[in-house]
Structure 1
Amino acid sequence: MEKPRVAVIMVPFPAQGHLNQLMQLSCLISSYGIPVHYVGSAIHNRQAKVRVNGLNHEDVEKIHFHDIPTPSFASPPPDPNSPDKFPTQLQPMWDASLSLREPVASYLRDMANKFERVVVVHDSLMAVVVQDVSSILNAESYVFNCVSAFSKAVFTWDLLGKPLPIEHPKELPSLEGCITDEIRDFWALQFEPLSYRAGDLYNTCRLIEPAFMELLEREEIAGSRKSWAIGPILPAKLSSSASQSESRYRCLEWLDKQEPNSVIYVSFGTTTSLSDEQIKELAFGLEQSKVKFLWVLRDADKGDIFDEQVRRAELPEGFEEKVKGVGMVVREWAPQPQILAHPSTGGFVSHCGWNSCIESITMGVPIAAWPMHSDQPSNSVLITEILKMGLFVREWKQRTELVKASTIENVLKILMASKEGDEIRKRAEELAATVQQATQQGGASKLELDSFISHITRGNDI
């Protein structure tokens, strides 16, 4: 009996922003009629499904999830008072993920017996786990980069100990202070296994990061491997699935009642916990600005998000009552792509994680940048200095300082109610038109995705 021809195996890194992007990519590749298998621990497969944002439920149903046994790991709470905002509470989980190598290798060998070709698409931080793909004759692997081309280039040349060889803003954030020694060591483990990859995928659009894509395609970085810039990989039509909680509907219903471009959306992603003192300053800054706001106030994730013991951050007494009609505070998981796509949303106070940036770019929403760790400081430079679709709330060099209410108030007024803010918004809308067109039939990113699909199905009439 003839074997089915190609299967794609997704191996995500267990952190929300990474799980999310590989879920989006899974649905995209599946739309070409290729079976896609999403591989991870039971906890993280469940997390990926529970937190599906904007994806169509029927598309997710087509993905095959495979739970790999993972050793138990400590799941401590985040420390909101730490001056260093890197999510060290997730390190035990990441260390535990290294033990997936053997069961993943066994799974890949099993799949290689069932399909003519097995294509592994893995996060760059999972190279150690998938490295045995190199010993399977009918298997090949591709790295999916969950960061901007700019951040990847900044980090790559930083690790080489060389200056970025093209024109760039004077001050670039170095890795120092962005990450911990532990995650740097974790990265270092990936370097040799990364050499086994057959190519690179990027969740960016070549039209907005051309110079940085060219840098990453240089022979000294990519070798003879091909790169595909296929982003943004958000679905063209965002779904409002029936699995949404009441609060999700509430915040979107609240936005329905507001004027176009009148609301600032405030969210710091899944890996940042603000101190009580900073929460108070942010609350007062929002109140004093008189700008309408939707504020997602949640603690950073623990390794196991299903462990219900979560800190409930305190707001100033009577705050929600005082801002009734002007602002809304959401404490649950929020449908961010739908919020950013809403016509009432006119700005985004963001930590500048790449999911948030690429969603904001796609929806044409200008950003008030407040980077916290990892690639966020370099993403914030990309947004403010290179793409010119945002401004800083707080620059990276001032990361240890408390951001005062007066600073927040001032930035919100500039972004939401000034000529400068209007110009930034116009620029954001122009970029949105560019990347939206790029993902449509015949567009730059769609052509690169088609090229990748042709490459992995080469020699097959799929």
Structure 2
Amino acid sequence: MQWLDQQPRSSVVFLCFGSLGCFGADQVKEIAYALEQSGHRFLWSLRQPAEVFSWNDYEKVPEVLPEGFLDRTAEIGKVIGWAPQVDILGHPAIGGFISHCGWNSTLESIWFGVPMVTWPLHSEQQLNALTLVKELGLAVEIKMDYRIDDGEVEIIKAEKIEKGIKWLMGNDSNVRQMMREINDESRKVLMDSGSSHTNLRRFINDVMNNMP
């Protein structure tokens, strides 16, 4: 958070793929190449592949990244393990979010008005990504599915990742404008008389009125 405090407003792209989101060594290197080539500031939550419902941070991060990557990007980037996602998304330095499109992450990104790049990994994330890109216009597509060929997940090349980052972080991005608009709407629904506030009240009243 102290590092973010030193960065210009809306200048940092945040990469985080959920508690269980992780990649193999080949994909990690492609992400690193893309970040370095893009030239944009970044904060990357990098997790180690583990068993289902278990996750860990890398003990020796430099060993899984391209040689010299951390030195070459020391002025513009930071690689971390577990990340306090809500605090980070709410920081004014964050200008974009590369996400697995889990529903919690999607709502948090909308709440803080941070445009997204979609990279679904499993479960309902593919549907969320499709909705964000095609229906709502709140995200840029790096990937919209989690296709597995012959038991192996497709490796996304650095060029495609870099293109998504540059499109997302462009100041004239339509996605950025759409996110600002829906961010305002998302906050209204929680206000007194907003739709979420009203529907929750109706639900509570229905439960209370029908208790035995």
Q: Normalised by the size of structure 1, how large is the TM-score?
A: 0.42
Distance 1:267 1:441 in 2: 33
Q: 1:304/1:412 Cα in 2 relative to 1: closer, same or farther (>3 Å)?
A: closer
Question: Is the 1:270–1:299 Cα contact (8 Å) retained in structure 2?
Answer: no
Distance 1:338 1:454 in 2: 33
Question: Is the 1:295–1:329 Cα contact (8 Å) retained in structure 2?
Answer: yes
Q: Comparing both chains, which one has the higher relative contact order based on Cα–Cα distances under 8 Å and sequence gaps of 6 or more? A: 2
1:450 maps onto 2:205 in alignment = no
Paired residue type of 2:65: L
Distance 1:304 1:359 in 2: 22
Paired residue type of 2:170: A
Corresponding residue of 1:441: 192
Corresponding residue of 1:362: 111
Question: Is the 1:270–1:300 Cα contact (8 Å) retained in structure 2?
Answer: no
The answer for unaligned runs of 5 or more in structure 1 is 1-251
1:407 maps onto 2:144 in alignment = no
Question: Is the 2:120–2:146 Cα contact (8 Å) retained in structure 1?
Answer: no
Give, in angstroms, the shift of residue 263 of structure 1: 0.6
Corresponding residue of 1:326: 76
Paired residue type of 2:191: Q
RMSD: 2.1
Question: Is the 1:267–1:351 Cα contact (8 Å) retained in structure 2?
Answer: yes
Paired residue type of 1:323: T
Identity %: 36
The alignment of Structure 1 onto Structure 2 pairs a total of residues equal to 204
Distance 1:458 1:398 in 2: 48
Q: 1:310/1:414 Cα in 2 relative to 1: closer, same or farther (>3 Å)?
A: closer
Paired residue type of 2:45: V
Over residues 390-441 of structure 1, what are the superposed CA-to-partner deviations in whole Å (9 max), with x where a residue is unaligned? 111123276643111111111111110253x2x2111111111111111111
**After the TM superposition, which segments of 4 or more aligned residues of structure 1 sit over 4 Å from their partners?**
300-305, 309-313
1:416 maps onto 2:166 in alignment = no
Alignment of 1:290-369 (within 5 A): 290-299=39-48, 302=51, 305=54, 312=59, 314-331=64-81, 333-369=82-118
Question: Is the 2:118–2:143 Cα contact (8 Å) retained in structure 1?
Answer: yes
Over residues 368-404 of structure 1, what are the superposed CA-to-partner deviations in whole Å (9 max), with x where a residue is unaligned? 1011111011100011011111111123276643111
Distance 1:281 1:344 in 2: 25
Give, in angstroms, the shift of residue 455 of structure 1: 2.0
Alignment of 1:385-400 (within 5 A): 385-396=134-145, 400=153
Distance 1:269 1:388 in 2: 22
**Pick aligned residue for 2:10 from 254, 257, 261:** 261
Larger radius of gyration: 1
Over residues 59-104 of structure 1, what are the superposed CA-to-partner deviations in whole Å (9 max), with x where a residue is unaligned? xxxxxxxxxxxxxxxxxxxxxxxxxxxxxxxxxxxxxxxxxxxxxx
Q: Indicate the SS of the match to 2:186.
A: helix
Distance 2:116 2:12 in 1: 12
Q: Normalised by the size of structure 2, how large is the TM-score?
A: 0.88
**Pick aligned residue for 1:429 from 180, 203, 207:** 180
Distance 1:387 1:304 in 2: 31
Question: Is the 1:267–1:350 Cα contact (8 Å) retained in structure 2?
Answer: yes
Paired residue type of 1:254: W
Over residues 238-264 of structure 1, what are the superposed CA-to-partner deviations in whole Å (9 max), with x where a residue is unaligned? xxxxxxxxxxxxxx1111111111110
Distance 1:425 1:304 in 2: 34
Distance 1:311 1:321 in 2: 18
Q: 1:304/1:392 Cα in 2 relative to 1: closer, same or farther (>3 Å)?
A: closer
Over residues 287-311 of structure 1, what are the superposed CA-to-partner deviations in whole Å (9 max), with x where a residue is unaligned? 1000110000012564665x9x765
